[in-house]
Amino acid sequence: MATTQALTRRWQLSGWQRFRFWRVVAWLTLFAITALFVIPVLWMVSTSLKSPSDLANTNWIPQTLEWRNYRDAFSFGQWGRWTLNSLIITSVSTAGAVLSTALVGYSFGRLRWPGRDILFGVVLATMMIPDVVVMIPRFIIFSRMPAYGLQGSSVWVNTFLPLTVPSWLGATGFEIFLMRQFMRNIPIELSEAAKIDGASELRIWWSIALPLSRPVLATVAIFKFQGAWQDFMGPLLYLQDESKYTLQLALRQFEFAAGGAPAWNQLMAASLVVMLPVLVIFLIFQRYFVQGINITGLAGR
C-alpha cells in the first residue's frame, strides 16, 4: 500500500525531481555493487586474523585477534627463498619486456624498412594464437636447450631461463602493439633534428624516444610485473625443485601440508602478503593501469 502511494507520488514529481530520484537510485546501486567488490578482501583480512576454532563462524570481527597467524603461515618451507625467486623472475622479465618491446615498438612505429607492415600484421596475428598451441613444443625446446649447469640443471627446464628469456625477445604481441601505438605519435621534428646533428638511431631511441615514452613504458612495466608475479602455469611447467618455486607455487603448500582442506586462516594471511606488492603498485601507479586499458580498448577500432 505504502509502495503504491510512493509510486503514484513519484509520477507526480516534476521533471527535475524525477531526474534527481533516478540519480539517487543509480548512486545507491553503484554503492551496493562497489561494496560487493570490496567485501571479499575485507573477509580475507578478517579470516587471516581468526583462531582455528573461530573459522567456522561468520562473524566479521574475530573473537581474538590472532596476529600470530602471519608468523605461523611462514614458519614452514623456504618462504625467503621463494620470495627471492619471485622477485628475480619478475624483475628480470619486466626489465626485458620493457627494453625489448620499446626497441621493437620503435622500429615498427618510427622506422621505415621493407617488410615492416607485413611483420606488424604477424605481431597482431600472434595475439590470436592460444598459448596452449605453443606450450608443449616450448616445453620440449626448453627441455633440450643446454643450460650448462646453471642453477644445477643441464637444460633450461628447472631453471629461471624459460620464464625470463622470452621476455627479452619481444615479449608478447600486445606489449609491442602498445609501444608502437605510442611511439608513432611522438613528434618527429625532434628525431629529424637529432639526425642532422649526427646522432645514431640507437642514440635517438635511447635519449629522445625513451624519455618521451615514459607513460607507455610504465604501462608495459606494470602489466608485465603483474603478469609475471601472478604467473602460475609457467612456474608449474618449468620449475621442479621446491627450492626454485615462486610464491604462486608456494601457496599450494598449505593444501599439501594439510593433505586436504588447508588452514584457511594461515592461507589467507599468506595470500594477503603475496598479493601485497601488486596492490601497492596498483595504488601508486593507478593511472598507468587505466591508461593501458584505454589503449587496449582502442585496439577494437
Partner 1 sequence: MSVTVPGTQSGSPGPAVASARRPRFAWKLSYREALTGWLFASPWIIGFVLFTAWPMLFSLYASFTRYNIVQDPQWIGLQNYQQIIDDPRFYKALENTFWMVLYKTPIVMSVALGIAMLLNMNLPGDRIFRTLIYFPSVLAGVASIYLWQWILSPNGLLNSGLDVIGINGPAWFTDPAWTKPGLIVMGMWFIGNNVLIYLASLKGIPETLYEAAEIDGANAWRKTWHITLPMISPAIFFQIVTSIIGTFQIFTTAYIISGTRSNIGGPRQSMLFYVLYLYNRAFGRVGPHGLQMGYASALAWILFAIILTITLFQLAMSKRWVYYETS
Interacting residues with partner 1 between 258 and 277 (CB under 8 A) = 260, 262, 264, 267-268, 270-272, 274-275
Regarding 282 and contact with partner 1 (CB under 8 A), the answer is yes
Number of Cβ within 10 Å of residue 228's Cβ equals 23
Residue 151: CB minimum distance to partner 1, A: 20
Regarding 251 and contact with partner 1 (CB under 8 A), the answer is yes
Regarding 23 and contact with partner 1 (CB under 8 A), the answer is yes
- Per-residue x/- marks for partner 1, 50-89, CB under 8 A? ------x-x-------------------------------
237 neighbors 139 (Cβ within 8 angstroms): yes
The C-alpha atoms of residue 53 and residue 44 are separated, in whole angstroms, by 16
Which residue in the set 34, 64, 154, 243 belongs to the binding site for partner 1 (CB under 8 A)? 34
Residue 233: CB minimum distance to partner 1, A: 6
The interface region with partner 1, picked from 1-9, 63-71, 75-83, 251-259 by CB under 8 A, is: 251-259
Contacts of 30 (CB under 8 A, 6+ apart): none
Regarding 117 and contact with partner 1 (CB under 8 A), the answer is no
Task: Determine whether 144 is exposed, middle or buried from the number of CB atoms within 10 Å of its CB (0-12, 13-18, 19+).
Answer: exposed
Regarding 293 and contact with partner 1 (CB under 8 A), the answer is yes
At 43, which amino acid appears?
Answer: W
For partner 1, how many residues bind (rule: CB under 8 A)?
Answer: 101
Interacting residues with partner 1 between 164 and 183 (CB under 8 A) = 166, 168-171, 176
Regarding 37 and contact with partner 1 (CB under 8 A), the answer is yes
Which residue in the set 21, 43, 67, 76 belongs to the binding site for partner 1 (CB under 8 A)? 43
Q: Residue with C-alpha cell 646533428?
A: 197
177 neighbors 127 (Cβ within 8 angstroms): yes
Residue 267: CB minimum distance to partner 1, A: 6
Regarding 94 and contact with partner 1 (CB under 8 A), the answer is no
74 neighbors 267 (Cβ within 8 angstroms): no
Interacting residues with partner 1 between 138 and 167 (CB under 8 A) = 138-141, 143, 166
The interface region with partner 1, picked from 2-10, 36-44, 66-74, 211-219 by CB under 8 A, is: 36-44
94 neighbors 217 (Cβ within 8 angstroms): no
Regarding 240 and contact with partner 1 (CB under 8 A), the answer is no
Number of Cβ within 10 Å of residue 155's Cβ equals 17
Nearer to partner 1 among residue 108 and residue 182 (C-beta) = 108
244 neighbors 151 (Cβ within 8 angstroms): yes
The conformational region for residue 260 under phi > 0 = left, psi -120 to 50 = alpha, else beta, is left
CA distances (Å), origin 72, targets 87, 159, 186, 249, 266: 22, 29, 52, 18, 7
Nearer to partner 1 among residue 65 and residue 190 (C-beta) = 190
Q: Which cell goes with 36?
A: 560487493
Nearer to partner 1 among residue 150 and residue 275 (C-beta) = 275
Give me the numbers of helices (H) and strands (E) for the chain, helices first please. 17, 0
